[in-house]
Amino acid sequence: MEQTLIIIKPCAIRRDLIGEIIHRFEMKGMQLCAIKMMQLDDKILDEHYSHLVGRPYFQRIKNSMMKTPVVISVWKGVDIVEIAHHMAGATNGREALPGTIRGDYSVSIQENVVHTSDTVENAKTEIMRFFKAEEIFDFNQLSNSVLYAENEV
C-alpha cells in the first residue's frame, strides 16, 4: 500500500477544521499512520516549496504557513496519493468542486486549507522531510477486510 502526506494548513487550524478534515479522510477508508502538530519555519518551508522559490508570491506562502502550527499526517491505502489529492480538490478553492475539501471549505488559492502530496515520489520525499521512520506506524486496520477486495491488498 502507498503512503501520502497531508498537511492541515494554518487557515484550517484557525477555523477549527482539524477534526472535520481528518474525519473525511477516515470516512473514505484511509488509514492514519502518523500525526503531529508542529510550527514550520523558513528552513523547512524553503525545502518544501523549493519549486516556488523566485515566484513573487513565495514569501506570502511562507508567511501564511507560519501563522500557526500545522497538523502533519501520514496516511496509508491503495492508490492513496491520488485519492487524497482528488479529495482535496483544485488548488484554488474558488475552482474546487463542491464535495472536495477545498470546494467545501476554501475560497482562496493560497488559504486553501490542506496540502496533499501530488505524486508517489513526492509523497515519499515529503514524508521523510517531516517524519522520522520510527514515528510512522504500520499495522493492519481491521476495516481493511471490508474496504478492499482480497486481490486489492
In whole numbers, what is the pLDDT of the chain averaged over residues?
96
Read off the pLDDT of residues 37-81 as tens digits, 9 standing for 90 and up: 999 999 999 999 999 999 999 999 999 999 999 999 999 999 999
Let me know: does 74 contact 127? Beta carbons within 8 Å. yes
Read off the pLDDT of residues 6-44 as tens digits, 9 standing for 90 and up: 999 999 999 999 999 999 999 999 999 999 999 999 999
CATH topology of domain 2-136: Alpha-Beta Plaits (3.30.70)
Q: Which residues are catalytic?
A: 115
Three-class secondary structure assignment of 32-98? EEEEEEECCCHHHHHHHCHHHCCCCCHHHHHHHHCCCCEEEEEEEECCHHHHHHHHHCCCCCCCCCE
> Where are the chain's structural domains?
2-136
7 vs 113: CA distance, rounded Å: 9
pTM: 0.95
For residue 125, what pLDDT is reported?
A: 98
